[in-house]
Structure 1
Amino acid sequence: MFSKICPKLPMRNKAKTFDYYVIKLGFENFGNEDFEDYLMLKKDEIEIHFFLYKDVNPLENYGQVYIRTHHIDQIYQTFLDQNIAIHPNGSLQIKPWGQKEFSLLDPDKNLLTFGQTFPF
């Protein structure tokens, strides 16, 4: 039986990816070892893994993760208060498919979409 999914996204620079996710978004480093070309991060019940891909073109990167939450308004406001850039087309809004969502782009243009079923 399936129990969890941990997406793996490309990163060009481990230090920049670490700073964005840990310092800005509040993730923590996960794992007992530090691998030169791999990064495992965790926040609450989710994990996102990153693999080094120095040649990824951010303008052609289609890495995406959809993160479900129970506190979409609070998370959105926290990111705004911390001056974290919201995707230009991804401000907080209710979508036709019944989700309240917003999106971010990480340093490598991986798309992070946060969503909560609406109405709450």
Structure 2
Amino acid sequence: MLTAIHPKIPMRNKNITKAFYIEQLGFTELGSTDYDEYLMLKKDEIELHFFEFKTLNPKENYGQVYIRTDNIEGLYQEYLDNKVKIHPNGPLQTKPWGQKEFSVLDPDTNLLTFGQSS
């Protein structure tokens, strides 16, 4: 009976996180209430939620989200066009398990991996 998932991932600075996801990744803000320590963003059919963690050490952050897409090449090109820094170990490629994937790191080093079945 599960219908959706909205991961909660850490952020140190709401304004920096918001700018990265909206201006570079194409998300929009969700909801009409602005919470000081919480942020909800949406793109297409997915939501990501962020909670404030001011003392987060980005070098020790292991936050990860896997996001499925039905147009990985288009999304990859959109992010290249927007000058999104692709993870050095995560350019678009077909993995041995049959998924086409690429990855980016957000300002707090949360790893976002985008994937599509080959």
Cα shift readout 1:75-101 (whole Å, capped 9, x = no counterpart): 111111111100010000000111000
Give the match for residue 60 of structure 1.
Answer: 60
Aligned pairs for 1:1-120 (under 5 A) are 1-118=1-118
Cα shift readout 1:24-67 (whole Å, capped 9, x = no counterpart): 11100001210000000001000000000001110010000001
Q: Whole-Å Cα distance in 1 between the matches of residues 2 and 74 of structure 2?
A: 30
**TM-score normalised by the chain length of structure 1:** 0.97
Identical pairs, percent: 63
Two-structure CA RMSD over aligned residues (Å): 0.6
Secondary structure class of the residue paired with 1:20: helix
**TM-score normalised by the chain length of structure 2:** 0.98
Q: Whole-Å Cα distance in 1 between the matches of residues 93 and 35 of structure 2?
A: 38
Report how many aligned residue pairs link the two structures: 118
| Structure 2, gaps ≥5 residues long | none
Paired amino acid for 2:101: E
Q: Whole-Å Cα distance in 1 between the matches of residues 21 and 82 of structure 2?
A: 13
Q: Whole-Å Cα distance in 2 between the matches of residues 73 and 107 of structure 1?
A: 23
* 1:10, distance to aligned residue in structure 2 (A): 0.2
Q: Whole-Å Cα distance in 1 between the matches of residues 19 and 62 of structure 2?
A: 21
